């Protein structure tokens, strides 16, 4: 069935406290999506961000980001007051996230909440901790230890903690009991609010697409608590790290620096860690986009310590066999695969054999006039088309920075015009395509320039900061978007009166049949 959605991270929602949250503004955005004829809301990873503020580098791949906890809801629960929340500075510009202020002030405020929380714990708090025991305690303990070690990476902690000496950890667990519980409290708040938001969205007919990075951060509870799952030496240092080789976009390639998985070990334990991860993500989201899916077929490894990605090699991943095994345990997985860039025949085969839809990005379609897979006339039906992703410029920014030849080709191919807006012309092309699902960014719907770009890969400092203004969700935009959804047959199908009448008639017929059966039984008696 043809459908459509909007890509915008939680952080980009408007709010009074410096960053988007899972509160009233998130529900207002869901209402906007429903009224605008959308079916999906796509977000970026919800994990706690670490240094650099990227949602793709997190202290845990299971935990939720405490910044997204809505403070108004915590006030309603009696753990904070509105005056306390307003006593802190949250941002200098309400269209940008100030992560420095958030880090300094949000956790100071959360500490106040914890002082009240430990005196009045919710009845289901223990149940929550028990139900999430396979990751929650490790994460909370890791964060408490990180504070005790002045924010240092776990690889620089003492050997007793680094190598998880049971006796030492037991002593530290008692010493840091309150700190551990405070991080468990934040996860309790996060998942309570997330589950409420997801339930609200689902009732409105909006499904959530979540983003799952293939790799985890080296400085994370994932690696500290599960070192055998990762490619580390006897001192727990990384041997090789993840990245991408040099290509047309970068002469030095991309050095991500993430630890690599020890696929031989994972195969022996039946991919237990991945099973746990995908089970958790499937519970959080209605649909999962797996970032860098090609890494399951073959992945690029760079010796630890290299300063560029030039001297790497390709190695074989677990392939489709891992997903076959996991689906036997977890059932059919609802996955979108990020299969962008150069793909070898074996990667293409793995994606096709798995049966998951791949991605097409319109901004990649016009670098050359010859056919390429991102041009709409080459799309298969079973795919997801994006005008751009979180790593792309906005369409208006792309049009401004593209070569004259590229832009002219796009204008010829898509019949773009300045009068209509290059962004609207490109979005209409995505909606008109045969792709079963189309996703556009909120920035493009709002006619925004490069200043609203979410991320520029391989750069630091100005990423992940864009926020929408409170008055951006206008009735006019809602109606315009809904009109195009009906024009391009992407609006959700409404249940007509005929369907409702059929249901009512079926109920009546069933009741009448039941009465007849009862009469027959009475006559026989």
Q: In this model, does residue 515 exceed pLDDT 80? A: no
7-31 pLDDT, tens per residue? 999 999 999 999 999 999 999 999 9
Burial string for 34-45 (b: 16+ CB within 10 Å, else e) reads: bebbbbbbbbbb
Averaged pLDDT, 51-55: 91
- Of the pLDDT bands very low, low, confident and very high (cuts 50, 70, 90), residue 341 is confident
Q: Six-digit token pair at 105?
A: 């002030």
Q: Which pLDDT belongs to residue 517?
A: 61
- Tell me phi and psi for residue 109, to 5 degrees: -70, -40
Q: Six-digit token pair at 32?
A: 């906007």
What Å distances lie between residue 102 and 17, 108, 292, 313, 486, CA to CA?
9, 10, 30, 40, 41
The SS3 call for residue 49 is strand
Q: Which residue, among 299, 308, 291, 230, has the nearest Cα to 262 in the 3D structure?
A: 230
- Tell me phi and psi for residue 511, to 5 degrees: -65, -45
Cα-Cα-Cα-Cα dihedral sign, residues 232, 238, 244, 245: negative
Q: In this model, does residue 492 exceed pLDDT 50? A: yes
Q: Six-digit token pair at 301?
A: 């490894």
Q: In this model, does residue 249 exceed pLDDT 80? A: no
How far is residue 158 CA from its own chain's centroid? 34
Q: Six-digit token pair at 129?
A: 């901790």
CB 299 within 8 Å of CB 315: yes
Q: In this model, does residue 454 exceed pLDDT 50? A: yes
What Å distances lie between residue 205 and 2, 192, 275, 287, 498, CA to CA?
14, 20, 28, 14, 20
Q: Report d(CA 380, CA 384) in Å as an integer.
A: 9
- Of the pLDDT bands very low, low, confident and very high (cuts 50, 70, 90), residue 508 is low
DSSP notation for 189-221: HHHHHHHHHHHHHHHTT-EEEEEEESS--SSSH
Q: Report d(CA 75, CA 434) in Å as an integer.
A: 47
- Of the pLDDT bands very low, low, confident and very high (cuts 50, 70, 90), residue 504 is low
Averaged pLDDT, 500-519: 56
Q: In this model, does residue 525 exceed pLDDT 60? A: no
372-428 pLDDT, tens per residue? 999 999 999 999 999 999 999 999 999 999 999 999 999 999 999 999 999 999 999
Residues whose CB is less than 8 angstroms from the CB of residue 385 and which lie 6 or more positions away in sequence, other chains included: 359, 360, 361, 362, 376, 379, 430, 433, 435, 437, 438, 439
How far is residue 292 CA from its own chain's centroid? 13
Around Cβ 370, how many Cβ atoms within 10 Å? 6
Q: Report d(CA 303, CA 102) in Å as an integer.
A: 35
Residues of the chain with pLDDT > 70, as a percent, come to 94
Q: Which pLDDT belongs to residue 16?
A: 92
Q: Which pLDDT belongs to residue 498?
A: 47
Q: Which residue, among 409, 511, 454, has the nearest Cα to 54 in the 3D structure?
A: 454
- Of the pLDDT bands very low, low, confident and very high (cuts 50, 70, 90), residue 252 is confident
Which residue, chain included where needed, has tokens 């938001």? 197
Catalytic residue numbers, as ranges:
291, 338, 391
pTM for the full predicted model: 0.92
How far is residue 352 CA from its own chain's centroid? 23
Q: In this model, does residue 502 exceed pLDDT 60? A: no
Q: Which pLDDT belongs to residue 499?
A: 47
Q: Which pLDDT belongs to residue 458?
A: 78
Q: Which residue, among 30, 115, 36, 22, has the nearest Cα to 71 in the 3D structure?
A: 22
Q: Six-digit token pair at 380?
A: 């298969």
Residues whose CB is less than 8 angstroms from the CB of residue 244 and which lie 6 or more positions away in sequence, other chains included: 250, 253, 254, 256, 300, 309, 341
Residues whose CB is less than 8 angstroms from the CB of residue 115 and which lie 6 or more positions away in sequence, other chains included: none
CB 17 within 8 Å of CB 85: yes
Q: In this model, does residue 250 exceed pLDDT 50? A: yes
Is 83 exposed, middle or buried, given 0-12, 13-18 or 19+ CB atoms closer than 10 A?
Answer: exposed
154-183 pLDDT, tens per residue? 999 999 999 999 999 999 999 999 999 999
Q: Which pLDDT belongs to residue 128?
A: 98
Q: Which pLDDT belongs to residue 507?
A: 57
What Å distances lie between residue 74 and 153, 180, 279, 351, 356, CA to CA?
31, 19, 28, 43, 39
88-123 pLDDT, tens per residue? 999 989 999 999 999 999 999 999 999 999 999 999
Q: Report d(CA 235, CA 445) in Å as an integer.
A: 50
200-246 pLDDT, tens per residue? 999 999 999 999 999 999 999 999 999 999 999 999 999 999 999 98
CB 344 within 8 Å of CB 297: yes
Q: Which residue, among 168, 180, 140, has the nearest Cα to 60 in the 3D structure?
A: 140
């Amino acid at each position: 069935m043809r459908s459509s959605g909007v890509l915008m991270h939680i952080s980009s929602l408007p709010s009074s406290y410096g960053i988007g949250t899972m509160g009233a503004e998130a529900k207002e955005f869901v209402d906007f999506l429903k009224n605008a004829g959308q079916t999906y809301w796509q977000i970026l990873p919800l994990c706690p961000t670490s240094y650099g503020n990227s949602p793709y580098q997190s202290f845990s791949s299971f935990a939720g980001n405490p910044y997204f906890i809505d403070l108004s809801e915590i006030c309603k629960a009696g753990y904070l007051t509105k005056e306390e929340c307003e006593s802190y500075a949250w941002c200098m510009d309400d269209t940008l996230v100030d992560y420095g202020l958030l880090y300094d002030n949000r956790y100071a405020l959360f500490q106040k909440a914890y002082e009240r929380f430990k005196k009045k714990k919710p009845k289901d708090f223990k149940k929550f901790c028990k139900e999430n025991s396979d990751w929650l305690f490790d994460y909370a303990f890791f964060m408490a230890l990180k504070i005790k070690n002045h924010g240092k990476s776990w690889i620089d902690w003492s050997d007793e903690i680094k190598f998880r000496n049971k006796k030492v950890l037991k002593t530290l667990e008692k010493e840091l009991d309150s700190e551990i519980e405070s991080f468990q409290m934040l996860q309790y708040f996060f998942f309570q609010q997330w589950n409420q938001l997801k339930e609200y969205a689902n009732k409105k007919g909006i499904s959530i697409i979540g983003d799952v990075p293939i790799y985890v951060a080296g400085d994370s509870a994932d690696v500290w608590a599960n070192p055998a799952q990762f490619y580390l030496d006897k001192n727990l240092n990384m041997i090789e790290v993840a990245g991408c080789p040099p290509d047309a976009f970068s002469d030095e390639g991309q050095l991500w620096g993430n630890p690599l998985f020890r696929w031989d070990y994972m195969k022996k334990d039946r991919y237990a860690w991945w099973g746990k991860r995908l089970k958790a993500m499937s519970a959080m989201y209605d649909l999962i986009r797996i970032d860098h899916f090609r890494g399951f077929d073959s992945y690029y490894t760079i010796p630890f310590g290299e300063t560029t990605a030039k001297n790497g090699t390709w190695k074989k991943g677990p392939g489709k066999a891992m997903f076959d095994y996991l689906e036997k345990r977890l059932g059919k997985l609802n996955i979108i695969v990020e299969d962008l860039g150069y793909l070898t025949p074996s990667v293409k085969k793995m994606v096709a054999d798995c049966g998951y839809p791949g991605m097409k990005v319109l901004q990649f379609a016009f670098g050359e006039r010859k056919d390429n897979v991102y041009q709409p006339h080459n799309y298969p039906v079973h795919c997801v088309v994006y005008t751009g992703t979180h790593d792309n410029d906005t369409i208006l920014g792309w049009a401004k920075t593209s070569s004259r030849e590229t832009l002219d080709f796009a204008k010829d191919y898509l019949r773009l015009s300045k009068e209509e807006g290059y962004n609207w012309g490109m979005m209409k092309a995505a909606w008109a395509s045969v792709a079963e699902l189309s996703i556009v960014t909120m920035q493009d719907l709002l006619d925004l320039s490069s200043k609203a770009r979410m991320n520029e890969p391989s750069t630091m400092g100005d990423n992940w900061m864009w926020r929408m203004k409170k008055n951006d969700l206008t009735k006019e935009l809602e109606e315009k978007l809904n009109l195009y959804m009906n024009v391009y047959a992407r609006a959700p199908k409404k249940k007509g009166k005929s369907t409702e009448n059929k249901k009512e008639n079926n109920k009546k017929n069933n009741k009448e049949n039941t009465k007849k059966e009862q009469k027959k039984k009475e006559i026989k008696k």
